[in-house]
Amino acid sequence: MGAVFGWQSQWGHSHKKGTWRLSLSDVGLTYWSRGSQRELDSTLRFSGFAVANLLELKDSLLRADADSLTAALSGQEEGAYAALHPFQVALAYRKQIGEGPHQYSAALRYRYLPGFRPRLSAGVLWRWSRHQLHSELAWGGFNAFSLGAAWQWQVAARWELQFWLSHLGAPLLPAARGGSRLGGSLQYRL
Domain assignments of the chain as residue spans, ordered by start: 2-26+87-188, 34-79
Report the pLDDT averaged over residues 178-184. 79
Report the pLDDT averaged over residues 85-94. 90
pTM, whole model, 2 decimals? 0.63
Q: What is the DSSP string of the chain?
A: -EEEEEEEEEEEEETTTEEEEEEEEEEEEEEESSSEEEEEESSSEEEEEE-TTGGG---HHHHHHHHHHHHHHEEEEES-EEEE---EEEEEEEEE-TTSS-EEEEEEEEE-STTPEEEEEEEEEEEETTEEEEEEEEEEETEEEEEEEEEEEE-SSSEEEEEEES-THHHH-TT-TT---EEEEEEE--
Residue 14: pLDDT band with limits 50, 70, 90: low
Whether 102 has a pLDDT exceeding 80, the answer reads yes
Q: Higher model confidence: residue 75 or residue 128?
A: 128
Percent of the chain residues past pLDDT 90, beyond the cut: 25
- Highest-confidence range of 33-42, 63-72, 159-168, by mean pLDDT? 159-168
Determine which of 4-13, 45-54, 76-85 has the lowest per-residue pLDDT on average. Answer: 45-54
Residue 65: pLDDT band with limits 50, 70, 90: low
